[in-house]
Structure 1
């Protein structure tokens, strides 16, 4: 992809979203960034920019909280601009109801909730765009996965339309991912198992997007995603958290999260089963509890074994 070629002129579509309570735009959208160099996600000043692949084509979306009120301004450019603007409210957490979550009995969570009143769960309404990077993150370090995402999107994506920040890119659509040759996956450090899973995912992309009509995640959505060979519990959860706004989808199988949850809630590390046991009192809200923990700034003690970064590109 030649990023030096300017994107074609695109008309601008605007909206102003008025949330029904406090809203921390950066905290809500932070899970959508795949590392600091993600070419599809950029924070510039107080604005969050995204390169978005919509059902109507590529779009650039810019979301900016206003200084004078609780309103949030949003602008979009490109063939998919109207779709991107229409989905801004859910992107920023509309429909994500925290009223049934009671964390008052846990001092850590109660304090996190008090300090994070503007936290919401995003719902992007983009299954493929959330699922592909989740597949790339399977069983490797974040450093490896984010490097692969950056390299593949920059080479095979589309320059974001309109006055986007330099280097902002819209990721490929399903056909674009399927056209990437095997040696390009290898060059990006993606092994054949993960690249084959991406191919299977892209082959059923329309059916994946139809899961959005089922609701905000749940067993039926997870079962449909997991029916694709190579998409397991962790990958499905990482996808429904972002695409569907699933409030009860903890990432079982994650290398780090069980220890983080254990240290935060009881002062010692736990495994997946221990994490689920700790989260059980908040069933129905387990992903909200996870976001409170990770959004609080808490980090587990830095000791113990680290996962080895592998470079598959030279093999």
Structure 2
């Protein structure tokens, strides 16, 4: 990825935190790389290189700054919103696909050869899939070293390393400290070995109440729920179950993760970040929406509104089908009937449910079964790793799924920043309240000026109705 030296230099000199995660500053004289906002003395221009990712810096032999922790910066908004193969690959790597299935598994999911995938990632982010996964393992290991009292050998395998020696060598290379040295820096109290407390940074501003109220209003008893200023969510993870308690704070969300298997730390963090849209660039979103005089007062009053997304794409698609033409409260009641334990059913589990578990018209039950069959059979991927346009088109091929359901799923499950629902009653009511056109055709035409952030406009219109 091309980085303009002068722009990056200005951002680093002014310690602009908005660029954290967009690039890292690699200092050739110290062989250390930092966030743009690092409080350390700004190095001379001739001693600086700007690289797109922490993995790219590590690949070239730079060590992470232990003061600003550049490996723990918010993810790049570019990879979060992009629907191309590089953006999809970055999301899948963050979810731990390389650790579980190797590079062949990642390449297979994306439909490319390993060589071509490596070439594309290296050109765009400065590192191939193995280097990116290695950087993530190192960060996971550091979090476990500093926040738990687990043995270092346990941490090595929980973080995804193949051996203790590989773990020791990688930590020493990336942080310039041995694992034991990192642990000496902090003394941790006794706690459940399956509990990990981490901070999930974001780019300010973040309108936490908008997130909490949206998710709380749609909570399913036994699966998730709002608890004051926090949100609790049960997680279905690759190696077992988990629970996340997420509490927004100043510049970060405090996450308490209860994990049945610590190998699921990285996927749990990735899914929580995705759920709360923490890698978004609110300045870019609000600048575009705020250019519309009819939206500007709301943007000014409530900066940093995010799109509540998903930890499970199939669940969102089911919610969308169930929510067709009924209220949010009624949808919650229907959805609760589908849940038999403490996790939302998988596609295979939903197919096994008896007909009387579907408290809905026969046609809608058939739609849910057809949707579940497509996901269980591998014909439809709703985890954000697939091509968005292709996935949305395949959704519409499922009998009973139209544009509203497909766009809602694209917005929340696939992370499409530009989905739009011009026929939604809540959207139309919100538009009317703000003085916008309140018929679908005229509103859709007006919304063209909101591209590529129409999903964020949908959330704002819902909040206005």
TM-score when scaled to structure 2?
0.52
How is 1:53-64 mapped onto 2 (pairs within 5 angstroms)?
53-64=236-247
- The partner residue of 1:146 within 326, 332, 345 is 332
How is 1:18-167 mapped onto 2 (pairs within 5 angstroms)?
18-28=201-211, 30-33=213-216, 35=218, 38-66=221-249, 69-79=250-260, 81-82=264-265, 83-98=267-282, 99=284, 101-124=287-310, 126-153=312-339, 156=340, 158-159=341-342
Structure 1 residue 127, shift from structure 2 partner:
1.3
Structure 1 residue 150, shift from structure 2 partner:
2.1
8 Å contact from structure 1 (residues 135, 198) kept in 2: yes
Of Structure 1 and Structure 2, the greater helix share is in: 2
Structure 1 residue 36, shift from structure 2 partner:
6.0
Distance 1:20 1:36, change over 3 A: closer
For residues 44-93 of structure 1, give each alpha carbon's deviation from its aligned partner in whole angstroms, at most 9, with x where no partner exists: 12211112333444321110123xx3221112224475222233333332
Separation of aligned partners in 2, 1:12 and 1:34: 27
Structure 1 residue 37, shift from structure 2 partner:
5.7
Counterpart position of 1:253: 423
Distance 1:175 1:103, change over 3 A: closer
Counterpart position of 1:275: 443
Q: Does 1:174 align with 2:347?
A: yes
Distance 1:212 1:103, change over 3 A: closer
Counterpart position of 1:184: 357
Structure 1 residue 203, shift from structure 2 partner:
1.3
Count of aligned positions: 267
User: What are structure 2's unaligned runs of at least 5 residues?
Assistant: 1-191
Distance 1:77 1:105, change over 3 A: closer
Separation of aligned partners in 2, 1:32 and 1:201: 23
Separation of aligned partners in 1, 2:197 and 2:426: 39
- The partner residue of 1:208 within 355, 365, 380 is 380
Separation of aligned partners in 2, 1:107 and 1:248: 20
8 Å contact from structure 2 (residues 337, 357) kept in 1: no
Distance 1:211 1:11, change over 3 A: closer
Q: Does 1:11 align with 2:183?
A: no
8 Å contact from structure 2 (residues 216, 226) kept in 1: no
SS in 2 for 1:212: coil
Separation of aligned partners in 1, 2:381 and 2:215: 18
8 Å contact from structure 1 (residues 28, 93) kept in 2: no
Q: Does 1:237 align with 2:407?
A: yes
- The partner residue of 1:262 within 432, 447, 452 is 432
8 Å contact from structure 1 (residues 26, 48) kept in 2: no
Counterpart position of 2:368: 198
Counterpart position of 1:163: none
What is the CA RMSD across the aligned residues, in angstroms? 2.7
Distance 1:86 1:211, change over 3 A: closer
RCO higher in structure (CA 8 A, sep ≥6): 1
Distance 1:10 1:230, change over 3 A: farther
SS in 2 for 1:128: helix
SS in 1 for 2:385: helix
8 Å contact from structure 1 (residues 46, 64) kept in 2: yes
Q: Which has the larger radius of gyration?
A: 2
Structure 1 residue 143, shift from structure 2 partner:
3.6
Separation of aligned partners in 1, 2:204 and 2:460: 17
